[in-house]
Structure 1
Amino acid sequence: MLRTVPEDFEVTETLAFEPSGTGEHLYLFVEKRAITTGEAHRRLAEDFGVPRADVSYAGMKDRHAVARQWFSVRGPRDEADTRGPGLRVLRQARHPRKLRRGQLRSNRFRIRVRAVSGDVEPHLRGVASHGVPNYFGPQRFGVDGGNVAAARQWARAGRPRVPRFTRGVYLSSLRSFLFNEVLGRRVADGSWDTALAGEALVEGAPSGPLWGRGIPTSRDAALELESATAGAFPDIVDALEHVGLRQERRSLRLVPTDVSWSLEGDVLTFECVLPKGAYATSVLREVGAFRDAPGGTVRPGRAAA
C-alpha cells in the first residue's frame, strides 16, 4: 500500500542552478505536507502580500506527500508568516530572475510501500540495471483520467477560451496521453528499449512523440507506428497541431540513478533520483501492483523484469 501517511512519499527538488544571493526575487525552499502545490502557491502570495502572478514554482508536486520544493516571490520582503499547517520555509536566497517551470535538475524520492507481498527484489534489480518505460504518471491525467476526457470535450467544442492554467492542463494531458499510447504499443511489442528502423534517438535511447505542429523526426518503422497510434485519436492530433505547440521528443526509457532499497518484513523503502519530468509511479509500476491509500492503483508493468 502506498501513501498510508504523507511521510510514506517524500520528494525533494534540486534546482538546475544555484540562486545568486541578490536580486528582486526571493527564492524559498519550502516543505509542504498534505497540501497541493497550488495551495502552497496561494498561501505564499497571501503571506507576502503580493499578487499570485508574482509567485512562481518550477514543478507541481503531489498532495499526498511530503514535498520539498522551490518557489520564488517577487518583492522586497525577506520574511513572512508561513507557520500555518502543512507549510514551512527551510531555506531562502535572493536571485535576479523569477523561477520558471521546468528549471529543475532532478527530484529525489524516498518512498515507503507497506504490505508488500511476493518477491519484488528481482524487479528492483531490473529497475536499477535496465530502467523502466518512461510513462507519464497518473497524476498527469487527473482523478480517473478526468483531465483527458475534459480536454477532448474542449477540443471537440472548437477549443473555446478557458483560463490559461486550464488550457495548459488540457494540452499537457493530451500530449502525455498520446505519448503513453505510443509507449504502450512499444512495450507490447518489446521495442520500448530497442531502436526501430528510422528511430529518433534521445540521449541514445528510443523516443516517442510529444505531438505538435511540424514534421516528425522519426522515419520508417518508427514513424509508421507513431502515425498509426496517433491516427486513432484525430481530435487530439488536430488540437495539438493547431495551438502553436511544436513537435518534440521524449525518451521511451527512464533510468533512475542512486537507486537503493531495503525490506523490513512487509515494508519496502525505495529511494532514487529521477530527472525532471519523470514519475516515480512509472518506476513503481515495474515493481508490483500497489494500492494507493488515497485512491487509485499503481498497476504492474514488469517490462523491466
Structure 2
Amino acid sequence: MVSWVVKRVLLATWLCYWSRNRVDSEAFNQWYQQLAYLHGKPSATATFRQEPEHFQVIEQLTPPSTEAEGEHQWLWVRKKGANTVFVAEQLAAFAGVSPRQVSYAGLKDRHAETWQWFSVQLPGQALLVWEALHHAEFAVERAVLQPKKLRLGFHDGNRFRIRLTDVQDMESVLERWKLVVESGFPNYFGEQRFGRDGANIAKAKRWFEAGRKYRVNRNQQSFLLSSVRSLLFNQVTSARVSAQRLLPEVGDVLGLAGNRSVFRVEQVDAELLSRFAARDVHLTAPLAGDEKLQNDSAIAQFEQTCSDEFWLQGLRQQRVEAARRPLLAFPRDAQHQQIDANTIVLEFSLDAGVFATSLLREIVQLNNAKANLDGAVELSDD
C-alpha cells in the first residue's frame, strides 16, 4: 500500500513539474493522459464520433420572458460541422450587424450535432425572416423576441446523446457506466480547453514571460487565461484524487448544490458529513487567480503544491479573480441503450461547463475519435 501511495504522490509531483517547464505537444498529451482516474483506468475501448450525429448536444435553457417583445432576437439553432463562433458570425452578417451584437450562453463542439440559443441585438426591429438564412452547416429552427441579451453561462447545462461503436468489453463499459452515474467523475477540463496539443499553454507561457512585448488581442487573452486556470484546476483535482482525499477537511472550500455559493469548513462533524453524503454540499478545487482570503489550512497548502507561482503571478497581473469549481461532477437523468454487442448509446445531462469527454474518459478508452481541438469549448464556468 505504501508503495502505491508513493507512486501516486510522485505522479502528482511530475504533473506539477511539467506545467512549469514543458509545453510541447508530446509532453502535453502525456500530461493529460496521466491525470488520475477516480475508478482506475478503464480497460474497455470504443470508437467515438464516427459521425457528427454520434455526439449530440442539446443546450438546456428556456428563454426567461414569456412576452414576445424586446430588442433581442433569440434564435434556436441546430448546427453540424461548424463551431459556435462561426455560426455567430454568419448570423451577424445576415442581420447586417457587428458580431459583437451576437451572443450565446456557451461554445459547443464543432464535431457534433448541437442545438443552442443565440441572441442578436436589433433595437426597434420585428423578427427577421430567419428561415431565409440557408447554410449547409446550420439552420435557425425557432426565433423569439426577448428583452435581454443572452450571456455566457446563462444556461443550466447540456443534454448529451453519445453513440459508442466498436466497443470491446461491453460488460466493463456497463459496469463503469453504473459507477460513474452513482459516484461521479473528476470534473476535468477537456483537452480541447487547451488548444491543439496544448498550444494555448505554450502561448500563455510566452505571454507571461514577455509581458507587453508579446501582443495578444482581448479575445485571445480570455482563451489563454482560461487555459491556464484549467491547467491548474486539473492538476489540483488529479492530485487530490490520487491522494484519495475525497472527504471534507478543515479548511476545505465547499460548494452548495444548485448555486455557486461556497463556504470554508471550520469543523468536520456528523452534520457536515451527512450533507456531503446527500450531495447538498460538494468539494471544490481552485480556479486560480487573485485570492482575497488567506487560508493556511493543510488542504490549502496541498492545493498550493500544484499551483506554481509563475502561473499564479501571471493571473494576478491580469487581475483574474479567483473562484472555485466542483471537484467531481455527476450525470443527471442518465440512461443507456445497448444496440448490439459492440454498440451502446449513453444519454445524460451535465451542468454548464462540465465536459462530456471527461465523463467518457472514466468509462472507456476512446480510439479513432475526431479531434475536438478547434477552440470550441465550454467557457461558462469562468
Common fold: TM-score over 0.5: yes
Q: Which amino acid aligns with 1:104?
A: H
Change (3 A) 1:19 1:29: farther
Which secondary structure state, in structure 1, belongs to the residue aligned with residue 304 of structure 2? helix
Structure 1 residue matching 2:109: 3-state secondary structure: coil
**1: CA distance between counterparts of 2:73 and 2:204?**
35
Structure 2, unaligned runs of 5 or more:
1-46, 257-280, 374-382
Which of the numbers 199, 202, 206 marks the counterpart of 1:146?
Answer: 199
What is the CA-CA distance between 1:241 and the residue it aligns to? 1.1
**Residue aligning to 1:109:** 160
Query: Percent identity among equivalent residues?
Result: 36
Match among 155, 159, 164 for residue 218 of structure 2: 164
How many angstroms apart in 1 are the aligned matches of 2:288 and 2:368? 30
CA distance in 2, matches of 1:116, 1:139: 24
Query: Does the Cα contact within 8 Å between 2:76 and 2:115 map onto a contact in 1?
Result: yes
What are the superposed Cα offsets for residues 117-137 of structure 1, whole Å, 9 maximum, x if unpaired? 112111101111111111111
Decide which of 137, 140, 146 is 1:95's aligned counterpart.
146
1:132 pairs with one of 166, 185, 188: 185
Work out whether 1:35 is the aligned partner of 2:86.
Answer: no
1:47 aligns with 2:124: no
Please say if 1:59 is aligned against 2:113: no
Query: CA 1:206–1:217 in 2, change beyond 3 Å: closer, same or farther?
Result: farther
Q: Give the whole-Å Cα distance in 2 for the aligned partners of 1:217 and 1:13.
A: 37
Q: Does 1:183 align with 2:237?
A: yes
Q: Distance in 1 between matches of 2:362 and 2:190?
A: 13
Q: Does 1:209 align with 2:298?
A: no
Higher-RCO chain (CA-CA 8 Å, sequence separation at least 6): 2
Cα distance, 1:196 vs structure 2: 3.0
Query: Which residue of 1 is the match for residue 7 of structure 2?
Result: none
Cα separation, partners in 2 of 1:219 and 1:272, compared to 1, 3 Å: farther
Question: Does 2:60 match 1:14?
Answer: yes
Secondary structure class of the residue paired with 2:143? strand
Contact 1:199 1:219 survives alignment (8 Å): no
- Decide which of 228, 231, 256 is 2:305's aligned counterpart: 228
Partner of 2:341: 265
Q: CA deviation at 1:18?
A: 2.5
Q: Which residue of 1 aligns with 2:353?
A: 277
- Aligned-partner Cα distance in 2 for 1:222–1:183: 12
Report which of the two has the higher share of helix: 2
The 1:146–1:26 alpha-carbon spacing in structure 2 relative to 1, beyond 3 Å, is same
The one-letter code sitting in structure 2 at the alignment partner of 1:285 is R
Q: CA deviation at 1:47?
A: 1.3
Instruction: Output the TM-score relative to the length of structure 1.
Output: 0.92
Partner SS, residue 116 of structure 1: strand
Q: Distance in 2 between matches of 1:152 and 1:177?
A: 12
Quote the residue 1:303 is aligned against: none
Once the two structures are TM-superposed, the CA of residue 234 in structure 1 deviates from its matched residue by: 2.5
| C-alpha distance after superposition, 1:4-28 (max 9, x if no partner) | 1100000011126534421000000
Q: Is 1:3 equivalent to 2:56 in the alignment?
A: no
CA–CA distance in 2 between the matches of 1:234 and 1:218? 16
With normalisation by structure 2, the TM-score equals 0.74
Matched residue, 2:317: 242
> Is 1:197 aligned with 2:250?
yes
Residue 251 in structure 1 maps to residue 298 in structure 2: no
Distance 1:3 1:44, change over 3 A: same
Residues matched between the structures, number: 294
Distance 1:83 1:265 in 2: 40
Q: Which residue identity lines up with residue 202 of structure 1 in the other structure?
A: G
Structure 1 residues not aligned, in runs of 5+: 298-305
Once the two structures are TM-superposed, the CA of residue 116 in structure 1 deviates from its matched residue by 1.1
Q: Runs ≥4 in structure 1, deviation > 6 angstroms?
A: none
- The answer to whether structure 1 residue 82 and structure 2 residue 82 are counterparts is no
What is the alpha-carbon distance in structure 2 between the residues aligned to residue 279 and residue 209 of structure 1?
A: 17
1:209 aligns to what SS in structure 2? strand
User: Once the 2 structures are TM-superposed, how far is the Cα of residue 235 of structure 1 from its aligned partner?
Assistant: 2.2
Measured after TM superposition, the shift of residue 217 of structure 1 is: 6.6
